[in-house]
Each structure stands twice: as C-alpha cells, then as structure tokens.
Amino acid sequence: MPDKGTKKKITRIDGGDASPGEGRSFTPTADSRSQALKFRIIAAVSWVIAIGFEIGAIVLLQRPPISTTWLIVLIAAALVFAVIGNLLWKKSNRLDPASEKEPVKFFIQNQLGAIISTIAFLPLVILVLTNKNMDKKQKGIVGAVAGVALLIGLGTGIDFNPPSQEKYAQETARVEQLMDNNLVYWTKSGTRYHLYSDCSAINTRKTDEIFQGTVAKARELKNINQLCRFCENKAAKEKGLQLKDVTGAEETAPAEAETR
C-alpha cells in the first residue's frame, strides 16, 4: 500500500542527495565537512585544555602538602573538557566518516576520544597511587576520583558503532533499492529510521513531530543507523522482493525489537 501520509508535523531536513544513484560511494556534503571541521577544532581545543588540567594536577602532586580538594577540582575540570571533546569528535565523525579501507586511520579517527582520555587520566591514576607524599586516605579518595574520570572518559570516547563511508553507502543503497529515493523519516527520540510517514511506529501519541531527510542526515543528527523492519517488509512486498535480496537486510534486527 502507498504511503497515506500523516497528520503529524513533518520537518524536512535539507542536505545530502535524495535522488537514487546506482553503486555510488558516500561523499559528505561541503556543509557536512565544514561542520565536521568546526567540531574537530573545538574538540581538539577541549582536549588540550583537559590535558592542561591534568598537567596542573600532576604538578600539584609534586608539591607537598598536597591539597585533596584542589586535586579533585582539577580532575573534574579535566573530565568536563575531555567529555566535551569526545562528544564533539564523535559528532564530527558522523558528519564526515572515515573509510574502512584504511583500517589504521579508521580506528584512530573513531577511537581518538578514548585514546585522549587514556592520556589524560591514566598517568594521573598511576602517579596518585604511587605518590609517597600522600597518605592512604588521600590516595583512596583521589585515586577513586581519577579512576572514575578515566572510566567516564573512556565510556564517552569509545565509539562502539563507528560510522564509515561504506556503512553510509550500504544503508543508502538499501533505502534506494526499496524506495527509488534516499528519503527516510525519524523522530527525535527514535532509534530507527522509517520509509513511510504513516508507519504506526512513529504515529503515536508521544510523537508530535516527524523529521524527513536522507539516510546520512538521520545518522548525522541522531546517530540512527537501523531501518524499521515493518517499513522494510512493506517496501519489499510492494517491490516484489524477498528480504534476502535487499541490500544489507541480514543486518536488520527482529521486528519485535523495534524501537520507535
């Protein structure tokens, strides 16, 4: 059945090519690259500031009597800037992803936040625990704070589902195969994109606005990289296709796991 439309407000997100392109690779738009560069610069500055606070904490460790309060303040400040850098860097990677054809660059670019967080906090943890000018209580408190900061930095820095040019191209090809265009729908709290604006998964009481844009935009803005199984089944049926014949269909989660 064709898309019957929706009574919900639809907001069109411009950017990217919505027309089909047989076998093409993914290329970010000039605007996406510009935004990615801006985010990377801000992320780099944030990381430098974070490491600066770490250096300040290390210097403080060498000057007894050591102030526990100031150490915690410096660690907390370093964590704030490290997390800001991590989140912005991951955002930039969704805008301008690396290619899996260059594995070293791909790994470093996508996990740089975790690498920087390790540099910012692991030496501090080691220096605190081996410091001879601190008593056991100080070591316990400051060591725990530094350890938690390291874990939070790693948690926000690691990208467990890193974007890539190849993934974007495959996800786009999948939608184009089913719909003959590169336009999908999603909601602000959704974890999947949809092929039909009338899909029941996004036409609930909790939904007041539906966004429409390219597959790349869904991932850039919301980090959505999964297609709604209901929409996929419907589109495949209308096209007379078996799911096994749809590009990347084997990666789709079961229908009962659908999240609006």
Kindly report, residue by residue over 14-70, the tens digit of the pLDDT: 765 555 555 557 788 888 899 999 999 999 999 999 999 999 999 999 988 899 999
- The answer on 204 and 151 residing in a single domain is no
pLDDT of 154 higher than 80: yes
Give a yes or no: residue 89 inside a domain: yes
Sequence-separated (6 or more) residues with CB below 8 Å from residue 150: 117, 118, 121, 122, 125
19: left (phi over 0), alpha (psi -120 to 50) or beta: beta
Please give the residue that has the higher pLDDT: either 42 or 226.
Answer: 42
Cα separation, 211 vs 193, whole angstroms: 10
pLDDT confidence of residue 258: 45
Average pLDDT of 229-249? 82
- The answer on 47 and 116 residing in a single domain is yes
Which among 96, 88, 81 is positioned nearest to 41, based on CA atoms? 88
Give a yes or no: residue 249 inside a domain: yes
- The answer on 91 and 204 residing in a single domain is no
Give a yes or no: residue 165 inside a domain: no
State which residues form the domain around 186. 9-19+181-257
pLDDT confidence of residue 249: 59
| Listed residues 142, 157, 172: the one ending a domain | 157
pLDDT of 178 higher than 60: yes
Report helix, strand or coil for 131: coil
Cα of 257 vs its chain's centroid, Å: 21
Which tens digits make up the pLDDT trace of 74-130?
A: 999 999 999 999 999 999 999 999 999 999 999 999 999 999 999 999 999 999 999
- The answer on 150 and 60 residing in a single domain is yes
Mean pLDDT score across all residues of the chain: 88
Give a yes or no: residue 48 inside a domain: yes
Which tens digits make up the pLDDT trace of 182-224?
A: 999 999 888 899 999 999 899 988 888 999 999 988 988 888 8
| Residue reference for tokens 């930039």 | 92
- The answer on 197 and 145 residing in a single domain is no
- The answer on 188 and 125 residing in a single domain is no
pLDDT of 255 higher than 50: no
Cα separation, 74 vs 54, whole angstroms: 7
- The answer on 141 and 38 residing in a single domain is yes
Give a yes or no: residue 1 inside a domain: no
Tokens of 218: 């869904």
Give a yes or no: residue 171 inside a domain: no
Which among 82, 84, 142, 68 is positioned nearest to 115, based on CA atoms? 82
pLDDT confidence of residue 257: 40
pLDDT confidence of residue 241: 85
Query: How many structural domains does the chain have?
Result: 2
pLDDT confidence of residue 208: 86
Q: Report how far apart, in Å, the C-alpha atoms of 201 and of each of 210, 239, 257 are.
A: 11, 21, 12
Which among 158, 191, 31, 15 is positioned nearest to 89, based on CA atoms? 158
Give a yes or no: residue 164 inside a domain: no
Give a yes or no: residue 162 inside a domain: no
Average pLDDT of 231-248? 82
Average pLDDT of 137-160? 96
